[in-house]
A and B are shown apart, each in its own frame.
Chain A
Amino acid sequence: MSIEIEQDLRRKRLNPWLDFVVRIFKEKPLSAVGLVIVCLLLLMALTAQWIAPHDYREQVLDEALLGHSLDHPLGTDQIGRDQLSRIIVGAQVSMIVGFSCVIGFLFVAIIIGMGSGYVGGAIDIIVQRVVDGWMTIPTLILLLAMVAVVGQGMWQIIFILSIDRGISTSRVLRGEALYLKESTYVEAARAMGAGNMRVFLVHIVPNAFASIIVMATISLGVFILAEASLSFLGYGIPPPFPTWGSMLSGSALGFMARAPWIAIWPGVALTLAVWAFNMLGDGMRDLLDPRLRGSG
């Protein structure tokens, strides 16, 4: 019996990720569907260059506004580009933006949120008031204004989205740091002579891992939507990159009544991606971090 338990423990220690995936499939069927869609999207993004049936830039004016056919399963747009290929490459753009933003925003949120909660005192009070002020500016207006300041481009968009989301979600992680810094193991580490930086990096940040990973998953959907909104308004990722948001905007708007498929498919892709990340995030929150329920 004890050997069995030991083996079980060892398996769990070796494969915490696998174990978690199994739990999602067992307990949260909707989140499992989300996870599958996320994996498919990632696969599509990674192999976009090879699986796209046409070149996403190729304009064949004779074939403009074609409906669904074998050669163009999702039709063509107003200048004869294959929609399916553009949606596949668009997935690549969405995933690059989403995952880069996650890295960026976690960096910002951990430093601002957990840092200010951990340090406390006057710094915390000042930082929190700045966060308050930041959150009063309507998100999209703020993002647009930042585009006006830093200019347009993929890395600029990633920078802007990371800063904004990092600041506006920092409060959750601040709460986490406030709670963790009172824990006994932090006290023990201090007693053993660990410095502030060491306690913060080795004991506080890793212990907030559950909240961090849940927030990252939920934020992925938010980033994809935000990038699409900016691209739709013409201030997102500039051409020639196809993005789901920009496929719905600009000159395409004038042709949608004649060719509704240009309006439908990029939106379906967006909805599916956002839905998948939402569902996955929900399930992970329920399994990993029940305290976060209802936030984000």
Chain B
Amino acid sequence: MRQYLVRRLILMIPGVLFLTIFVFSMVRIVPGDVIEVIVGMQGGGRGGYMSEEMKDKVRSQLGIDKPIYVQYFVWMGQIARGDLGESLFSKIPVIDSLKKRYSVTLELIIITMIVMVVWGLAIGIISATYQDSWIDYILRSVAVLGLSMPYFWVAILVVVFGSIIFNWSPPLGVNHFMDGPRLNLEQFLLPAAILGISQGSAVARMTRATILEIVRQDYVRTARAKGLGDRIILTRHTLRNALIPVVSLIGITFAFSLGGTVILEQIWSLPGVGTLMLKAIQQRDYPVIQGIILVLGLLVMVTNLLVDLSYAWLNPRIRYN
């Protein structure tokens, strides 16, 4: 297992390298001069004026005044020291804005993942156990519907009808869990559940299909012939093998769900990384955009590492390959 971990960590290096190059080149491939774009964005997009000195200052701030390879290494050095630059507009260091906002997004994504796994596995297992019964049909239709209904639309409907029927609207500001669990959950549980169910529907379909494939395997028949009970066969033989593709799907959906939190934060007016991102895009605040992509990309990489480790734990063949 340790050997596997080391190999997996080495494999992460090119990924990190690509991520940094991608983020680094972002401001350099903007058609036209990025400075002109930024000048154009000032004054609420009506265009503004910037003196040549000011432009040079912004250029050096973005690090685009030196030869390209020097730029990259200087930039990497800053990143390694935890310096992601500062916002072009508010002048607040990007890392500080992220520190202030990451907890909201993290709580959202954690609850989303929990709902997704529980929903996906429960629906998938029940559906497969009662294959072709009416329970199966209903659950499968629910899963397909969950897959087809855009989560942002469901979120809008919940807010709109919450306000029409119950005169309820999402609480404003951030209510930390420790201060008031009820208000906190009212704020986070609903949006996260909406996203979790939407993503979990794909997991449910995958779980059902894999279980049905596995129950036809010889080793399941052998287990049954040995006289093992249904529950033991399900947990020890079927589920453990069925989890392998499901776990990898969960890894893939993590990156997707993280993108989904942007929309949910917007609808629920949660001050998370997503709303920061939207504001930054609106202002073309490149250092902020770069910082967010870098941090979220690294978060996804670490998650993928954890997914792969659990993968190896589930399937010894991967470990020793």
Q: Which residues of A contact B (CB under 8 A)?
A: 129-130, 132-145, 147-151, 221, 225, 228-229, 232-233, 235, 248, 253, 256-257, 260, 263-264, 266-267, 270-271, 274-275, 278-279, 293-294
5 contacts between A and B (CB under 8 A): A132-B18, A133-B16, A137-B255, A138-B258, A278-B147
Find out whether the CB atom of A256 lies under 8 angstroms from the CB atom of B156.
yes
Interface size on B, residues (CB 8 A): 55
1/0 per position for B245-281, CB-CB distance to A under 8 A?
A: 1000000100111111011001000000000011011
Find out whether the CB atom of A138 lies under 8 angstroms from the CB atom of B256.
yes
Stretch at the interface among B75-83, B91-99, B112-120, B157-165: B157-165
CA distance in complex: A294, B207 (Å): 9
**Chain B residues whose CB sits within 8 angstroms of the CB of A257 once the complex forms:** 160, 163-164
Residue among A130, A138, A139, A257 having the largest count of chain B Cβ atoms under 10 Å? A138
CA distance in complex: A151, B284 (Å): 10
Nearest chain A residue, comparing its CB with the CB of B206:
A294
1/0 per position for B279-293, CB-CB distance to A under 8 A?
A: 011001010010011
Q: A139-B255, A260-B161 are in contact. Are A271 and B148 (CB under 8 A)?
A: yes
Q: Give B5 Cβ to nearest chain A Cβ, in Å.
A: 18
A-side binding surface: helix, strand, loop or mixed? helix
**Chain A residues whose CB sits within 8 angstroms of the CB of B149 once the complex forms:** 267, 271, 274
B15: interface (CB < 8 Å): yes
Q: Which residues of B contact A (CB under 8 A)?
A: 14-19, 22, 26, 29-31, 144-145, 147-150, 152-153, 156-157, 160-161, 163-164, 205-206, 209-210, 245, 252, 255-260, 262-263, 266, 277-278, 280-281, 284, 286, 289, 292-293, 296-298, 300-301, 304
Find out whether the CB atom of B15 lies under 8 angstroms from the CB atom of A141.
no
Find out whether the CB atom of A151 lies under 8 angstroms from the CB atom of B31.
yes
CA distance in complex: A75, B311 (Å): 51
CA distance in complex: A144, B274 (Å): 11
**Chain A residues whose CB sits within 8 angstroms of the CB of B160 once the complex forms:** 256-257, 260, 263
CA distance in complex: A129, B210 (Å): 28
CA distance in complex: A130, B296 (Å): 17
Q: Give A115 Cβ to nearest chain B Cβ, in Å.
A: 18
Q: Give A163 Cβ to nearest chain B Cβ, in Å.
A: 12
CA distance in complex: A136, B152 (Å): 22
**Chain B residues whose CB sits within 8 angstroms of the CB of A232 once the complex forms:** 152, 263
Q: Give B321 Cβ to nearest chain A Cβ, in Å.
A: 17
Find out whether the CB atom of A138 lies under 8 angstroms from the CB atom of B14.
no
Q: A141-B262, A144-B278, A145-B289 are in contact. Are A129 and B18 (CB under 8 A)?
A: yes
Find out whether the CB atom of A275 lies under 8 angstroms from the CB atom of B144.
yes
Find out whether the CB atom of B31 lies under 8 angstroms from the CB atom of A229.
no
Find out whether the CB atom of B152 lies under 8 angstroms from the CB atom of A140.
no
Name the one of A137, A151, A275 contacting B297, with C-beta atoms under 8 angstroms. A137
Q: A137-B22, A140-B259 are in contact. Are A148 and B284 (CB under 8 A)?
A: yes
Q: A132-B14, A133-B18, A139-B256 are in contact. Are A263 and B156 (CB under 8 A)?
A: yes
Q: A141-B277, A267-B157, A294-B245 are in contact. Are A136 and B26 (CB under 8 A)?
A: no
**Chain A residues whose CB sits within 8 angstroms of the CB of B262 once the complex forms:** 140-141, 144, 233
Find out whether the CB atom of A149 lies under 8 angstroms from the CB atom of B209.
no
CA distance in complex: A147, B30 (Å): 10
CA distance in complex: A46, B299 (Å): 44
CA distance in complex: A216, B309 (Å): 32
**Chain A residues whose CB sits within 8 angstroms of the CB of B292 once the complex forms:** 141
CA distance in complex: A162, B152 (Å): 22
